Chain A
């Protein structure tokens, strides 16, 4: 189990590296730098700013630094390698590994990306966790009920909720809800900035909308997986042993049918915590997603890079958690790893 965990953690590293590489590459393709937007900036200021953020260095590798160093008689391979990597990408990765994601451009270097994440992520995390709680607490029972009471009113309700919830995008439901709330009840779901400290009622509406998709997905998956387990031979065996419905369901069906549900739960929760750009945008939640969307508009590359890496890390952690929980649920996996 320990070896398995270590292998899985190590497998995250190349994924993060590739994500960083692709993002960096794509960012470099974009026309215009972060400081081109303000028209009144004079070229000298841009030059100093570029130098300060290391944007005057080569993009990928720094061969000039290597040749300069070797001309000066440096032979230490470590120093040479460091000089070789004294590029925009190289420095970025080296700093990122140490937890430094660099200064944001939009703050003109007064605030680091990791500080922005530290400041804004708790809001997104609260929103995501509330949404996830809602998704699991409603989705699971609805799916189980749908499967057990097949072809009854419960089944139809769970099926309709699941179909609509999975297919209608959250921003559509979110916008329609804000419209509905403001038209019918005169409620403005958009709350002031200070409403988002700690858990507050401000989170209810966005969390409901954010959780809707995942809830519907969990309902569908639970329902189909329960139906699948229901026709397995070992369920017939349990019934043939004289086990009652309650025991058959709780002891024999639930754990088996949870296996596929758990598989999606990790990435789903990671997605809820990170993927709320749209919801945060609609409800003006000052979270990390909102920050990310803002940084696209202002071409704040270090923020975009930092947020992307952070999101990729969260998704990877979500998947890792799934692998571990999976092992607990399914003894066949446990013994294989």
Chain B
């Protein structure tokens, strides 16, 4: 069944639209990427950048209406999921592709016991009987580090803490040995210490099971230890794609640089300032033919206002959607120059105030 030479997941020119009262929103715009077997891909972006919608599209769980997959292909193991019927899709969901959601507090059914929620997919996809499914569920809970799993199966979700619930979600996601696990911001709703535990758990399970993972986050810091490759999304478009190492060493899209410079670092000198991205996230209703990042970019040129930059190869295995070859050093020096200018302007303004005070 598995075709070793094709990637596990090959998304081509995916297009997802939502109808709203103000017009059609292109939530995902011409996005293409691949995930190989056993590989972990990170998808990074701000809220509203289309990363979650992309993952729901792969599961074919876009709420329709108002949403719909307007174009493109989602080739999973060589077969296009866009053409699948709902019944065929159900055999994929939870079985070959499973998903973990952001908020563990609301993602579990409050009136059903954990055991019931875990065994239902085992019985559905693995043809287990009730006893087998229960034993397997207990095994899975033990695997994600929940103590006394046999007893906890009879508990309700509200009897678990947030971190524990996310462990249950992960156990549920892995229960049918999926080939692909989509983790949609699995740690965002959790405390920092719990976050680290969950990430560690995912890393361990990835090695143990060999499952490919799409790891969706808005936090570039989380991506570093988790993923093999990263795709950065902005305003529904893929704007940079490369290996995790490359992305940190040599980002080529000013947006990615901005994200990297927004992370506070302990190893930087005292004088260094954070240089965040200015301006506001993009308006998704905007239909202008221009670089979506142009209004916030430090290197914006005349041409940026009239062209949508395509994702182009900037070096082997590295694509970025910028018309120019801008490097991280350029942004940092520009930023520090700007910071110096601001400081100077502030100083001169202060001086004039002081001078006025003196003369008065």
Q: Verify that A and B bind, or say they do not.
A: yes
Measured CB to CB, the residues of A under 8 A from B are: 231-234, 236-244, 247, 251-252, 255-256, 329-332, 335
Query: In the complex, which of the residues B59, B87, B109, B124 contacts A252, with contact meaning CB atoms closer than 8 Å?
Result: B109
Among candidates A234, A255, A330, A335, residue contacting B159 with C-beta atoms closer than 8 Å: A335
Instruction: Determine the distance from Cα of A6 to Cα of B121 in the docked complex, in whole angstroms.
Output: 41
B73 on interface, CB distance cutoff 8 Å: no
Q: For B90, give the chain A residue with the smallest CB separation.
A: A242
Known pairs A237-B172, A331-B158, A335-B156. 12 more at Cβ < 8 A? Answer: A233-B101, A233-B106, A236-B61, A240-B61, A240-B93, A240-B94, A240-B98, A242-B91, A242-B125, A244-B87, A252-B112, A332-B110
Given contacts A251-B120, A332-B158, contact A237 B110 (CB under 8 A): no
Partner of B111, one of A242, A243, A247, A255: A255
Does B95 reach chain A (CB closer than 8 Å)?
yes
Residue of A nearest to B93 (CB): A242
Output the nearest chain B residue to A229 by Cβ-Cβ distance.
B109
- Asked if A234 meets B121 with Cβ closer than 8 Å, knowing A240-B99, A242-B92, A242-B93, the reply is no
Tally of contacts, chain A with chain B, CB under 8 A: 76
CA distance A244 to B94 in the complex (A): 12
A329 to B59, alpha carbons, bound, how many Å?
31
Please indicate the chain B residues that have their CB under 8 angstroms from the CB of A331 in the complex.
Answer: 110-111, 156, 158
Bound CA–CA A256/B121 (angstroms)? 20
By beta carbon, the residue of chain A nearest B56 is A236
**Interface of B with A (CB < 8 Å)?**
59, 61, 63, 87, 90-95, 98-99, 101, 103, 106-112, 120-121, 124-125, 156, 158-159, 169, 172
Chain A residues with CB under 8 Å of B110's CB are 234, 256, 330-332
> Are A241 and B101 also in contact (CB < 8 A) when A252-B112, A330-B111 are?
no
Question: Would you call A234 and B109 a contact (CB within 8 A)?
Answer: yes
Closest chain A residue to B105 by CB distance?
A: A233
B108 touches A242 (CB 8 A): no
Enumerate the 3 nearest inter-chain pairs by beta-carbon distance, A residue then B residue, closest first: A241-B94, A242-B94, A242-B93
| Cα of A233 to Cα of B63 in the assembled complex, Å | 12
- Which chain B residues border A242 with CB–CB below 8 Å? 90-95, 121, 124-125
Q: Which residue of B lies closest to A258 (CB)?
A: B111
Contact check: which of A231, A243, A251, A255 meets B90 at CB < 8 Å? A243
Find chain A residues with CB under 8 A from B111 CB. Answer: 255-256, 329-331
Question: Complex Cα distance A329/B92, Å?
Answer: 32
16 contacts between A and B (CB under 8 A): A233-B106, A234-B110, A236-B107, A237-B108, A237-B109, A240-B61, A240-B101, A241-B93, A242-B95, A242-B124, A242-B125, A243-B90, A243-B124, A251-B112, A252-B109, A332-B156
Within the complex, the shortest CB–CB distance from B111 to chain A, in Å, comes to 5
Contacts of A251 in B (CB 8 A): 112, 120
A240 and B106 contacting across the interface, CB-CB below 8 Å: no
CB-CB under 8 A from B103, the residues of chain A are: 233
Q: How far is the CA of A21 from the CA of B186 in the complex (A)?
A: 58
Closest residue of chain A to B96 (Cβ to Cβ) is A242
**CB-CB < 8 A to A236: which residues of B?**
61, 101, 107
